[in-house]
Amino acid sequence: MPKRTDIQKILVLGSGPIVIGQAAEFDYSGAQACKVLLEEGYEVVLVNSNPATIMTDPEFATATYVEPLLPGPVTQVIERERPDALLPTLGGQTALNLAKTLFEDGTLEKYDVELIGANYDAINRAENREEFDATMQAAGLRTARNIIATSAEEAAAALEFGLPLIIRPAFTLGGRGGGIARTREQFDEIVARGLDASPIGQILIDESILGWGEFELEVMRDHADNVVIVCSIENIDPMGVHTGDSVTVAPQQTLSDRVYQKLRDQAIAVIRAVGVETGGSNVQFAVNPATEEIVVIEMNPRVSRSSALASKATGFPIAKIAARLAVGYTLDEIPNDITKATPASFEPTLDYVVVKWPRFAFEKFPGVDSTLSTHMKSVGEVMAIGRTFGQAFGKALRSRELDSQPDVSGSDEALLTRLESPSADRFDLILELFKRGVSEGEVRARTGIDPWYLRELNHLDDAFEGVRSYRAVDTCAAEFEAETPYFYSAWDRAEANEVRRGDKPSVMILGSGPNRIGQGIEFDYCCVHAAMTVRESGRDAVMVNCNPETVSTDYDTSDRLYFEPLTLEDVLAIVEVEQPEGVIVSFGGQTPLRLAAGLEAAGVKLLGTQPDAIDLAEDRGRFGALLERLELKAPPYALAQSPDEALGAAPKVGFPLLVRPSYVLGGRAMELVYDTDMLADYFARTRPQGEIFLDRFLENAIEVDVDAICDGEDVWIGGIMQHVEEAGIHSGDSACALPPHSLGAEMLGEIRRASSDLARALGVVGLINIQYAVYGDDLYVIEANPRASRTVPFVSKATGQPLAKIACRVMLGEKLAGMGLPEDPCGPHVSVKEAVMPFDRFAGSDALLGPEMRSTGEVMGVATDFPAAFAKAQAAAGTQLPTQGTVFLTVTDSDKAAAMGIAAQLHDLGFRIVATRGTASAIKRMGIPVETINKIQDGSPHVRDWIDRGDVDLVINTPTGTAARSDGYEIRRAAVARGVPCITTIAGGMAAARAIGAARFSEPPVISLQELHRNGVHA
């Protein structure tokens, strides 16, 4: 075999936190690659800042560094580990850009590190818009007429093409910074945004090909120039909607064979011309439906979001094969895992149809533009498989798990007018119009969607006639026997189940469905650990999930995988086939928990904590009585059945108070209100249905998170985390530290006792997460969730104790007493988790943190002390704190005393301090030099002018008003637009000042998790 023996140690770069445009698919890709490279006998060094990933579990690499994906920390890793090669093609755009930087700054040459998978020239030819255009022309391939610009002046020349124009920044992910300019004002705005978003300050401005069909081909090539087309994917939306935001279909459905063969030929020509010799690439095309003219849009010289979809759609593991190609194998030498009989040079064949549907979260960002464009906005996706397009589309439709149903009210003409602008609810509107008898021609005239799809959608109900069967995904249309198949439901004339159960008992694990804000990759992490533990116990692990991005839907994570919607009907149908000994519902977040009562009612055995315990924790009345019995304090609260009842109860509870609907995910529709007028305004905006919770808000309390495991008798505390921000910021959006950095031993003992008492009283068998507020010397219980929490992966990485695996063992019948767990698993180091926000994706959104969760992902920093760990976490989250420059402060009156301390610390570090009049007066009284600048309402020159000019390096702004267009909102929006760090809590400001001070002395050293768990961190 030609496996390279001249390299022994390979550095793999991950993709960092989950952000819009770069999500869990790179955990799936990276985990596959690391596994393969270890199997091949290589040492693997992994760098990734995201603790919620499976790939950062220590067993997936020889050395795992949870460090910022920045040149400084990665150079430190290279200096320590001395890898022979760097594989940059499995960590999305982040890894590609970082590898390019390390090549250009001489780091790779200095330490003799070779780029494998894609070399520097290939990366540059694909990602640099000018190079790519020239390469395509030299290969005789057509691209859209375009201009490449590095300034607004150069960009203006593209206006001669005529509007609309499509603007694409170089070296960005998910279309970040780009868009469609239909007016001159939009053109100037998107050009400025795109130049700023591109790390090389370069944009491509294309003539409009809006309305053409959009297609992608997944292509793989080896060093012997063998090329295979893994999969074709078609966007149902015509050109103009980012492929990540479009409903897509595999294989493509509407091209003639002649045109499809042309696409294949051109895709092969593209990968050869760009020079990707050992790996996978994604090539995107536009096809004119009237003339069949083909235009090459772009190419990713790496594993992409679509690669994960193509892998799950075909059963062809692109990342795994790409890793083997990178170390010297050819396609014909790599066996197909699923058939065990065919090589990777054998192209997949599909005898079914796959539909991918994006998941959006516009409800989290009131006031933002929800129109879909070339700038990606979706936060997750689902995938469904069916024998026909109609079956796959219908299953994807019900896999979305929407928080609220789309608004399809209005006249036919009103709905048709809404169809003219692509939106998240476009297909709901189309189905509603067809129900009303509107013609396919009228819908096509407003959308440009191909007539074939519209005919299928108009007859969607016909797709589900017949008997439900379970079919296998085998990569070869049943030409060869499948050894490790996975399954999907199909409706056939007669039952034709292809499921083969073994003799072992099985346990079914319900996954978490599509990623969304409030329920992300952390829950998939727990489900994967559950599958591993079930298999280790000698049982078959059966996974049910519909998310193509995740490790849980990798075919070798479980013994049998069902790619199915997570609805009660679909899950019960699988239970009937599998007859499991039990079902695990507590690891996948709210998605499976919503099914618990229905499954129990149907006689299905649920493992671990039972539904009544979950209801006891969720039912405010029952939970309040339990706390009284345990003599635990809780903030005053009230339950109301209507807004009027809530307005009457609010003064008795006392202001300020937190208001929210019952049974919410990620703090959905939760707000902090200070008086009756604010509460009435909340009800007018949200119109809640059902029960309403009112809780007294404990202002300036310290919030604490606890993850624990109970076996029904004993309780083990896995981690106690102190939030950096005060209570009132959703736990998913707050930074937190492990161990707590300012709580004394007495309070920690009280927290441990309360957690143990609560877990036992609730009857928990498995994981529980409890949130507390420390208010003065008193401990208050905020809520308890007897299930996996989003902090489980972070605690597991920080302590070296795999909480989800331990909990699963308990749920399968083991006792904590026999596991030899440490009483206090925290070492001598400090770990900080920080949230990553998507505000830059949503122009007009407010960066103010509050009780409703809005983060998409998280990062982790580890160091000997809190300031250094916090600085690492900030850097990893993309909030690079300045070490010099100008700090702008404007804070509410109650925060002015603390702001004086922050100003003093930053002044001592050499920063220039500027502030609005009231804050400046308070700072001056302390004898600290400060410049006063105008509020926006006082006229120019004001603070926004300073930010827009680039004269402010850090903003600390705590809220003072409730108006959406207040000064604070405008300040925060300007800071986000300029990429200036913006801190909206006084505690966050204090932590930032300490972190800046720590960073001024030296960059904190890097350390691997393997060392951390073995020895701890030592200064």
Closest CA to 316 of 331, 299, 296: 331
Structure token digits, residue 147: 């201009």
Amino acid at residue number 924: K
Under DSSP, is residue 900 helix (H, G, I), strand (E, B) or coil? helix
696 in a labelled binding site: yes
174 in a labelled binding site: yes
728 in a labelled binding site: yes
- Nearest 5°: phi and psi at 121? -65, -40
Residues 609 and 768: their CA atoms lie apart, in Å, by 9
Q: Are 735 and 995 in contact (CB under 8 A)?
A: no
768 in a labelled binding site: no
240 in a labelled binding site: yes
Residues 570 and 576: their CA atoms lie apart, in Å, by 10
Q: Are 584 and 808 in contact (CB under 8 A)?
A: yes
Spatial CB neighbours of 72, under 8 Å, sequence gap ≥ 6 = 1003
298 in a labelled binding site: yes
Residues 628 and 623: their CA atoms lie apart, in Å, by 9
Residues 430 and 397: their CA atoms lie apart, in Å, by 13
660 in a labelled binding site: yes
Residues 775 and 779: their CA atoms lie apart, in Å, by 6
Q: What angle do CA 752, 722, 909 make, to 5 degrees?
A: 150
Residue carrying the six token digits 């022979």: 84
703 in a labelled binding site: yes
783 in a labelled binding site: yes
As a residue count, the chain comes to 1019
Structure token digits, residue 409: 């009210």
Residues 995 and 866: their CA atoms lie apart, in Å, by 8
Phi-psi label, residue 437: left if phi above 0, alpha if psi -120 to 50, beta otherwise: left
Closest CA to 147 of 201, 190, 203, 212: 203
Under DSSP, is residue 337 helix (H, G, I), strand (E, B) or coil? coil
300 in a labelled binding site: yes
618 in a labelled binding site: no
551 in a labelled binding site: no
458 in a labelled binding site: no
Residues 260 and 287: their CA atoms lie apart, in Å, by 10
315 in a labelled binding site: no
Q: What angle do CA 78, 79, 85 make, to 5 degrees?
A: 35
Residues 768 and 758: their CA atoms lie apart, in Å, by 9
242 in a labelled binding site: yes
Closest CA to 488 of 608, 669, 355: 355
Burial class (CB in 10 A: 0-12, 13-18, 19+), 32: buried
Q: Where are the alpha helices (DSSP H) in 846-955?
A: 866-876, 896-908, 917-925, 943-949
771 in a labelled binding site: yes
Q: Are 685 and 652 in contact (CB under 8 A)?
A: no
- Nearest 5°: phi and psi at 543? -105, 135
Residues 859 and 832: their CA atoms lie apart, in Å, by 8
Spatial CB neighbours of 476, under 8 Å, sequence gap ≥ 6 = 339, 342, 346, 348, 349
Residues 653 and 531: their CA atoms lie apart, in Å, by 45
Burial class (CB in 10 A: 0-12, 13-18, 19+), 136: buried
Residues 515 and 553: their CA atoms lie apart, in Å, by 13
Exposure string of 475-508, with b = 16+ CB inside 10 Å and e = fewer, is bbeeebebebbbbbbbbeeeeebbbeeeeeebbb
Q: Find the helix or strand (DSSP H, E) in which 574 lies.
A: helix 568-578
455 in a labelled binding site: no
529 in a labelled binding site: no
Residues 433 and 40: their CA atoms lie apart, in Å, by 55
Q: Are 882 and 951 in contact (CB under 8 A)?
A: no
CA distances from residue 798 to 491, 734, 789, 824 in whole angstroms, order as listed: 47, 17, 15, 12
547 in a labelled binding site: no
Q: Which residues are annotated as a binding site for Mg(2+)?
A: 284, 298, 300, 771, 783, 785
Q: Which residues are annotated as a binding site?
A: 129, 168, 174-175, 207, 209, 214, 240-242, 284, 298, 300, 660, 696, 698, 703, 728-731, 771, 783, 785
Q: Which residues are annotated as a binding site for ATP?
A: 129, 168, 174-175, 207, 209, 214, 240-242, 284, 298, 660, 696, 698, 703, 728-731, 771, 783
Q: Which residues are annotated as a binding site for Mn(2+)?
A: 284, 298, 300, 771, 783, 785
